[in-house]
Amino acid sequence: MAKKIKRIGILTAGGDSPGLNAAIRGVGKTCLGYYGMELVGFRDGFRGLVENKRLKLDKTTLAGILTVGGTILGTSRDKPHRMVIDGRTKDMTKTIVDNYHEWGLDCLVCLGGGGTQKNALRLQEAGLNVITLPKTIDNDVAMTDATFGFATALDIATETIDRLHSTAHSHHRIIVAEIMGHRSGWLALGSGIAGGADVILIPEIPYDVEHIAAAIKRRSRAGTNFSIVAVAEGAMSRDDARALLAAEKKLERARTLHDRKEAKLELASLEVRHTGNTMRLAKHLEELTQLESRVTILGYVQRGGTPSAADRILATRLGSACGDLINEEHYGVMVAARGDGTEPVPLEKVAGKRKSVPPDHSWVTTARRVGTCMGD
């Protein structure tokens, strides 16, 4: 009996990043060209599975996308179990499962970050065959050496810091560059080291603004009266970190709906993206050092444009390894980068976990050795 041709669904979810199209191409060319499978693209993350929004993926649509930023499929942060449909939040898991079987899919490939890994595990547990690839500029997905998108964002943020040096030097200023990374500090730490920032602030090492000011003043006394501060958007002062920890503990202890709601509001107010903190930090440093300060928020530039060569290689490697796993019918895993190779890691070990910067990580030690102030 002729072997059934496998039909593979693929989607991209969460924040976009450089390398997504390279990964779609890696999965597509391996599945279609090497293994003779069929590939169906679903638009705008998990919503495309609910609303049957497809993009036909074949040699033509896969041609020329390796170098293209963003995702040809579109993306969203929609969650299968909490999706807003006609203004109401509904659990659409059963609809997705029914559609998956009705459309004769053999596997669903999800390209995404931490949130997507959790959503993918839910669909695996609902009975679908799911494989994920680790994508995000934040590099905070657990159990993988790297995520595609990170290398390109690192290059972009580093070039930005390079360019900020000349204006800070010319005007004898403190320039605070806010760098993405959500609640991890990989992007700020890596680009801070690569760009020679004088201060690097990351969420994993809460800072004391007095210590930062003292380091900047030491530089001034030594005749260098400008400084570059690379601050992760999730970085926070020691006081804020203590308040966040207290709010998290309050939420854990909350027994009534009122207490939970109150604790969640308190937590949300502390967790919002920290551009406000960045502005306050710059102003406070100006007051403490008497050096003018200015702020640059790198924002979405870090997620834009063509992927770097490193990300193209990583995305293609992970994509082609995904095709091999589908051929072996090895499902329920994330294709993790491991050295020069890849490793299938069970989704249970990835979902709900975040890879944060260990305070004793070699990058942190390196930064300290070359005289970088880490805020503590």
Tell me which residues touch ligand F6P (CB under 6 A). 15, 113, 136-138, 180-182, 233, 273, 303
Residue nearer to ligand F6P on the CB measure, 138 or 311: 138
Instruction: Name the token pair of 327.
Output: 């051929």
Instruction: Name the token pair of 1.
Output: 């009996």
Q: Cβ 300 to ligand F6P, closest distance in Å?
A: 7
Rounded-to-integer distance, Cα 268 and Cα 263, Å: 9
Q: What is the 3-state secondary structure (H, E, C) of 266-317?
A: HHHHHHCCCHHHHHHHHHHHHHHHCCCEEEEECHHHHHCCCCCHHHHHHHHH
Buried b (16+ CB within 10 A) or exposed e, 331-366: bbbbbbbeeeebebbebeebbeeebbbeeebebbee
Q: Cβ 306 to ligand F6P, closest distance in Å?
A: 17
Q: Cβ 154 to ligand F6P, closest distance in Å?
A: 12
Residue nearer to ligand F6P on the CB measure, 129 or 147: 147
Instruction: Name the token pair of 106.
Output: 């053999």
Helix (H, G, I), strand (E, B) or coil at 39: strand
Q: Cβ 136 to ligand F6P, closest distance in Å?
A: 5
Q: Cβ 346 to ligand F6P, closest distance in Å?
A: 23
Count of other CB atoms within 10 angstroms of residue 256: 8
Q: Cβ 179 to ligand F6P, closest distance in Å?
A: 9
Residue nearer to ligand F6P on the CB measure, 71 or 99: 71
Q: Cβ 114 to ligand F6P, closest distance in Å?
A: 8
Helix (H, G, I), strand (E, B) or coil at 202: coil
List Cα–Cα distances, 308 to 17, 69, 152, 324, in angstroms.
Answer: 11, 10, 5, 24
Residue nearer to ligand F6P on the CB measure, 132 or 289: 132
Residue count (the chain)? 376
Residue nearer to ligand F6P on the CB measure, 254 or 297: 297
Specify whether the CB–CB gap between 182 and 174 falls below 8 A. Answer: no
Catalytic position from the list 16, 138, 140, 311:
138
Buried b (16+ CB within 10 A) or exposed e, 83-97: beeeeeeeebbebbb
**Which H helix or E strand runs over 213?**
helix 209-221
Count of other CB atoms within 10 angstroms of residue 62: 21
Helix (H, G, I), strand (E, B) or coil at 137: coil
| Catalytic site includes residue 138 | yes
Residue nearer to ligand F6P on the CB measure, 25 or 303: 303
Instruction: Name the token pair of 335.
Output: 């294709």
List Cα–Cα distances, 209 to 18, 40, 285, in angstroms.
Answer: 34, 52, 7
Residue nearer to ligand F6P on the CB measure, 121 or 137: 137
Catalytic sites, residue numbers: 138
